[in-house]
Amino acid sequence: MQRIRFFDIAKGIAILAVILGHSAIEANLCIPHRAAQVAISLCFSFHMPLFFMLAGYFMHPERAFRWVKESRQLLCTYAVTALCVLVGVTCMATLHHESRALALQTWGMTALYGNGDVSNLTLWPVGFRIGAIWFLLAMFWARLLLHIFAKLPHTVFWVAACFAFGYISSRYVCLPWSVQSGMCAVAFLYLGYLAKKYDVLGRVKRIPYIWVAALLIWIIDVVSFDGMSMAMNDYGSHPVLAVVGSMAGTLCVIGVSQLLDHMLLGGGAQ
């Protein structure tokens, strides 16, 4: 199977944005600075939505859900990575002459809950967050849900209702295994699927002014940014702008990736 090189470049940019965004958060906590705040606004406005939308671009939800493949790629990867975390914290507890049993208990509960961030709305106390691998659990639920909705009439209604339920319910309770994050992420998967189905990139190429509109929307979203975390279903005080802005930002990053592919790598697929 041939790879579309500019999509790989876009994913690389998003990975760098994840690193930069979280580094900027830590830097801003130590010494608040406008540059760090801009970096946070820019990176968090698009990086996780981009991953889900690109995943949706290559989905075939009309087909049967491949339980074995999806479980192996996502759930097993989560379990193995969580196990590595447990081994790591046990080693650190040993080095610092702390209780290994307590470390295993605390982080074991964290791994079991699968929460992307700390919350006081969990069903039982969870002291830490499992971190970036929440994405694996959310992706599993999102892909499963989209396969279900694609076989129902009025798919767009079910996707929107799922997003709304995940978003609203997370205000009152934080369910384990990043279920609610997956419920919201299904909308981004669906957007990616629709983008391929209706050849959005081809349409944009024929109407280049769309790039300008996307860039302006993305700038407005970044300037108005007041927080976005797909891990916790937090889309700030302007959730509609956050979602539309993430779509515009993803389109702009893909456009930049296409330029880089053409200028530096000669274009085409490999």
**pLDDT tens digits along 26-81:** 887 788 788 888 999 999 999 999 999 999 999 999 899 999 999 999 999 999 99
pLDDT above 70 (res 212): yes
Sign of CA dihedral 74, 75, 79, 80: negative
pLDDT above 50 (res 270): no
Q: Distance (Å, rounded) from C-alpha 237 to C-alpha 91? A: 41
Q: Which of the 8 DSSP states describes residue 229?
A: B
Retrieve residue 56's tokens. 């949706």
Nearest Cα to 37, choosing from 47, 27, 51? 27
β-strand partners of 174: 122
Biggest CA-to-CA distance, the chain: 64
pLDDT above 50 (res 117): yes
Position 3 scores a pLDDT of 75
Mean local confidence (pLDDT), 6-10? 92
Dihedral class, residue 174 (left if φ above 0, else alpha if ψ from -120 to 50, else beta): beta
Q: Distance (Å, rounded) from C-alpha 200 to C-alpha 82? A: 38
Q: For 114-118, 133-137, 177-181, which range has the lowest pLDDT when averaged over its residues? A: 114-118
Q: Which of the 8 DSSP states describes residue 46?
A: T
Q: Distance (Å, rounded) from C-alpha 74 to C-alpha 77? A: 5
Q: Would you give the distance in Å from CA 71 to the centre of its chain?
A: 18
DSSP alpha helix (H) spans, 31-133: 34-44, 47-57, 67-70, 77-95, 100-113
Q: Which of the 8 DSSP states describes residue 234?
A: B
Q: Is this structure's pTM higher than 0.85? A: yes
Instruction: Count other Cβ atoms within 10 Å, centred on residue 35.
Output: 10
Q: Are 216 and 188 in contact (CB under 8 A)?
A: no
Q: Distance (Å, rounded) from C-alpha 177 to C-alpha 265? A: 40
Retrieve residue 226's tokens. 């007041």
Position 269 scores a pLDDT of 47
- Which range in 92-101, 131-140, 261-270 is most confidently predicted, on average pLDDT? 131-140
Position 21 scores a pLDDT of 87
Q: Are 112 and 170 in contact (CB under 8 A)?
A: no
